[in-house]
Amino acid sequence: MHTAALIDPLQDTLRDVGRTLQNMRAHGPVTGTWHATQLKSEADLIAERLIMTALHQLTPNIPIVSEEDLSSHAVDRLQPYWLVDPIDGTASYCGGFEGYVTQLALMEDAQPVLAVVFAPALQHMYFAERGCGAWVNGNRLFCTPHKTNVTLVDNYPQPKGIAKHLHHHLPCSDYLETGSIGLKICRVADGSADLFVKDVTMRDWDLAPGDLLLHEAGGVMTDLLGHRITYLGNLEQRGGLIAATSANLIQLVINVLPRS
């Protein structure tokens, strides 16, 4: 499969989705309903329809797994398939904040091989192709792994929970607040931050696009034990997440993590 030929039309699709989402916000408040820890809105479904229509036209023989379409979650994950998160950071989107993205990844052999992530409010377009690098707005991404001080990213105004623990125990010089999981990983890949750590249950569509972007930028992403994340099973990731600019920083995190 010639994945490079898909990059431009996928970027065009996510820009269209982004314009739609931004226009919806501009014309009035966008609300949602909480389902456990997930906020769902009509905007998620609109974004999903736009993305799925485009993917069916581009690659009619490749199945699609989307966060919002529960019937799609039973796909045979050993075959190539699309993994779609129409809005990652719905709470940020509904709240009028910048920290949300629309993202997707093409999966093969339990790993992402192509990823596109668009942050409409920031106008940041990220993409990566396995073995060919990662880019944002036409600029190649390279992680800087040997910084003395660490910038930590999380989704609260001040570090909380595990982020607060790491901010205290690591040489953290700065802290960046960003909404969605996918965007936080991209912020490590683009050099805005050095480290993102999470110890909650996440889903494959939260992680896979950013995983490829970070890897292709020269960074590292593992679970809290330092194991490479694989995308099999029931679409849930329960082992936590460390996204960092280097393997050395991953090990520093593991060394200071609180033990249960």
Q: What is the pLDDT of residues 80-97, one digit of tens each?
A: 999 999 999 988 998 889
Q: What is the pLDDT of residues 19-55, one digit of tens each?
A: 999 998 888 767 667 555 565 678 888 999 999 999 9
pLDDT value at residue 136: 98
Strand order, beta sheet including 81-88: 64-66, 81-88, 101-108, 111-119, 124-129, 133-136, 139-140
* CA distances (Å), origin 77, targets 53, 102, 235: 21, 22, 10
CA pair distance 183, 103, nearest whole angstrom? 9
> Hunting for tokens 């950013």 — which residue is that?
210
- The closest of 203, 213, 210, 208 to 238, measured between CA atoms, is 203
> Which pTM does this prediction carry?
0.94
Average pLDDT over residues 220-237: 94
Of 3-17, 25-39, 61-75, 181-195, the one with minimum mean pLDDT is 25-39
Average pLDDT over residues 219-241: 95
- The closest of 72, 62, 73, 66 to 45, measured between CA atoms, is 66
Identify the structural domains of the chain with CATH numbers, from first to last.
Answer: 4-140 (3.30.540.10), 150-256 (3.40.190.80)
